């Protein structure tokens, strides 16, 4: 399920560029108002496969145009912004998501600046028609990582040779967590092809700024072509590609290929 949230600015005009963690926390709170049990399920780890946990939702960067960036701040020059939110849920969960966000309030900021927002419109967006080969553009950075020998985290650029395999493997794990019986993807690791289409742009996101729990997550913004089973395309589109999706990573849009005629 995909929604575009239209938010009106009620107060303030400047917010930190690292706004992803407050948005993620707000989405959890909104879900909790509608279904406490499901929100608790997500907080306790969500969908699980082996030791991996997935929340099965993602969201884009804010479309705040027009705006001006100075340092680690962005000043809103308009009175309306939008946010794309997606959930990989079955029909039994749709009842509490539809219309859930309308008139919800959101305060984004830190100790220095804050913007108050209200959801004034919720637009339901039809998904693209999926095929085995799709072209995507990142609406938020994609995060793919692995653990080094010294147990530190290495955040990978899509230019490394095994990036596509790690990206697809993550989707396979998500599919197994969402459908434990293996109905979505079964048998051997699926055939795939990953093709990077432009120069990736590194994007670091700070989480819990100005606290002892502060950390930085790193992803990349880029365009890519992926050939894989249709079920994996659908799951990546709704739940997010790569890791840290519920923190605002891995949201993409399908790009229409130009016609040869």
DSSP string of 90-133? Answer: -GGGGGGTTTTTTT-EEEEE-SS-EEEEEEEEEEE-PPPPP-SE
Residue 141 lies in a domain: yes
Are 73 and 138 within one domain? no
Are 120 and 156 within one domain? no
List, for residues 22-54, the tens digit of each pLDDT value.
999 898 888 777 655 555 655 554 455 454 544
Are 93 and 145 within one domain? no
Q: How many domains does the chain have?
A: 2
Average pLDDT estimate for 91-119: 81
Q: Of 89, 124, 159, which residue is a domain's last? A: 124
Are 165 and 223 within one domain? yes
Site of tokens 């959890």: 28
Pairing between strand 14-16 and 73-76?
antiparallel
Are 189 and 214 within one domain? yes
Are 144 and 233 within one domain? yes
Q: Of 97, 124, 151, which residue is a domain's last? A: 124
Are 110 and 10 within one domain? yes
Which segments of the chain does DSSP mark as H helices, in order? 20-34, 36-43, 163-178, 230-239
Q: How much is the pLDDT for 254? A: 97
Structural domain containing residue 13: 2-124
pTM comes to 0.86
């Amino acid at each position: 399920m995909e929604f575009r949230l239209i938010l009106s600015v009620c107060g303030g005009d400047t917010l930190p560029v690292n706004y992803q963690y407050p948005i993620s926390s707000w989405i959890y709170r909104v879900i909790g108002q509608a279904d406490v049990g499901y929100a608790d399920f997500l907080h306790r780890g969500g969908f699980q496969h082996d030791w991996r946990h997935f929340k099965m939702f993602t969201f884009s960067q804010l479309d705040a145009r027009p705006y001006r960036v100075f340092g680690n701040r962005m000043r809103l020059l308009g009175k309306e912004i939008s946010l794309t939110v997606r959930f990989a849920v079955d029909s039994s969960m749709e009842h509490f998501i539809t219309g859930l966000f309308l008139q919800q309030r959101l305060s984004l900021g830190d100790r220095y600046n804050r913007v108050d927002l209200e959801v004034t419109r919720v637009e339901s967006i039809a998904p693209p028609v999926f095929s085995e080969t799709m072209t995507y553009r990142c609406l938020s950075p994609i995060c793919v990582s692995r653990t080094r020998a010294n147990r530190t985290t290495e955040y990978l650029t899509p230019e490394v040779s095994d990036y596509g395999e790690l990206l697809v493997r993550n989707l396979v794990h998500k599919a197994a967590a969402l459908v434990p019986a293996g109905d979505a993807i079964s048998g051997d690791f699926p055939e795939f092809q990953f093709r990077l289409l432009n120069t990736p742009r590194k994007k670091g996101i700070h989480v819990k700024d100005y606290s002892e729990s502060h950390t930085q997550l790193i992803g990349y913004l880029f365009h890519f072509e992926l050939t894989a089973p249709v079920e994996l395309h659908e799951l990546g589109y709704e739940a997010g590609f790569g890791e840290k999706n519920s923190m605002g990573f891995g949201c993409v849009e399908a790009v229409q290929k130009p016609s040869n005629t």
